[in-house]
Amino acid sequence: MTIESLVENMFELDNPINELNRLLIKYDLTPNQAKVYLYLSKMGIKTASEVSKSLKIPRTETYHLLSTLQQKGIIFSVFGKPTKFNAVGIDESIAILINNEKNRINELETGKESIIKLWKLIPKYSGNKEKSDENKFQTLQGRNSILVKLEQMIKESSENILVLGTESDFKKFYYTDFTNLLQKTKSELRILTDYSNKGTHIFEDVPAKKIKKLDDKNREDFCFIIKDDSEVIFFVSNSEVKDMMALWTDSKTFVTTLRSLFSLIWKKAHHIDESNAESLLGSEITYEHRLREIEQEKLILNYLQKNFKLSENKLGARK
């Protein structure tokens, strides 16, 4: 078996190439584009025909894929007959793909104002007047759309933000603006979450007084965030759906119900920096409690001293 055939087989077996393929799709490549790029990056200069044959992709599609990858700037052609292709280095390719995405976002942002301007030019034909008090619901799927909504809720909040859920629920938002925004919010923040004394925590930069520990019995399969008693985002766990799902609503009934549930659990929960007794008895345990204990020690000591003196006196009198 030649080295080339070994590398070619890598595309068919369960190996890191498949994981790489999956990762490259996030950089706006289709599965076949990623496959062709990875093939060239590992195999070096190849003709379109060779690519097509090795990857078992129809020749016409292969030409189209090679042309798109060239336009994206991550492969290049080598002059000759027939034309041969090679890949740009992986570091440079990733940088190019990131820049492409950044440019696309910049274009979208620039286009926003024009779209709104044009939209306003078109008269509205709907005869129904929208009711402002209508309850709105929105189903959000995927981490990014949920994150955008969460960030919007936290930024717009002016009164309070109530967060309930396990660390595992929120770990999907590590390295995002979610926790930064929570830290910076001027609203009253309350977080109910599980919190072991080991390891790092997603909320570790949030002041401890704002976090209470979610007891095991309350660690149900639900997670939600309430903003200003007016909006809630409720995470829906569905094993059949791979992506994260959440339901956002401004329904008063829904918000009030979850708010009541949160208040009930918050009232019974303990702050993460309290011991069990402190939380049950209040912070007075430290000073007043100690004073009473000292007073008790004094009372017993006085008694014992008095009695021992009496005994010693008796013994002394006998001598």
Partner 1 sequence: MSKNSTMRDSKINSNHLNILIIDDNEQITKMITTFLELKNHNCRVANDGKQGLALIQENKHDVVLLDLAMPEFDGYAVIKALENNDMLKNNKIIVFTASTITQDELEELVSRGVTSYILKPIDIDLLLSKIIESATS
CA 75 – CA 89 distance, rounded (Å): 9
Query: x/- contact string, 221-260, with partner 1 (CB under 8 A)?
Result: ----------------------------------------
User: Binding partner 1 by CB under 8 A: which of 19, 92, 243, 293?
Assistant: 293
**DSSP designation for 237:** -
CA 62 – CA 313 distance, rounded (Å): 111
Q: Is 290 in the site for partner 1 (CB under 8 A)?
A: yes
Q: Assess contact for 202 and 171: CB atoms under 8 A.
A: yes
**Residue 217 C-beta: closest distance to partner 1, Å:** 13
**Residue 290 C-beta: closest distance to partner 1, Å:** 8
The footprint of partner 1 on residues 298-317 (CB under 8 A) is 298-301, 303-304, 307
**Residue 277 C-beta: closest distance to partner 1, Å:** 4
Cβ-Cβ contacts under 8 Å for 60 (sequence gap 6 or more): none
Q: In this chain, which stretch among 35-43, 47-55, 221-229, 290-298 interacts with partner 1, using CB under 8 A?
A: 290-298
- 279 Rama class: left (phi>0) / alpha (psi -120 to 50) / beta: alpha
Q: In this chain, which stretch among 101-109, 189-197, 231-239, 278-286 interacts with partner 1, using CB under 8 A?
A: 278-286
User: Comparing C-alpha atoms, which of 164, 219, 172 is closest to residue 189?
Assistant: 164
Q: Is 282 in the site for partner 1 (CB under 8 A)?
A: yes
Q: What is the dihedral of CA 125, 128, 133, 138, to 10 degrees?
A: -60
Give contact residues for partner 1 (rule: CB under 8 A). 275-278, 280-282, 284-285, 288-293, 295-301, 303-304, 307
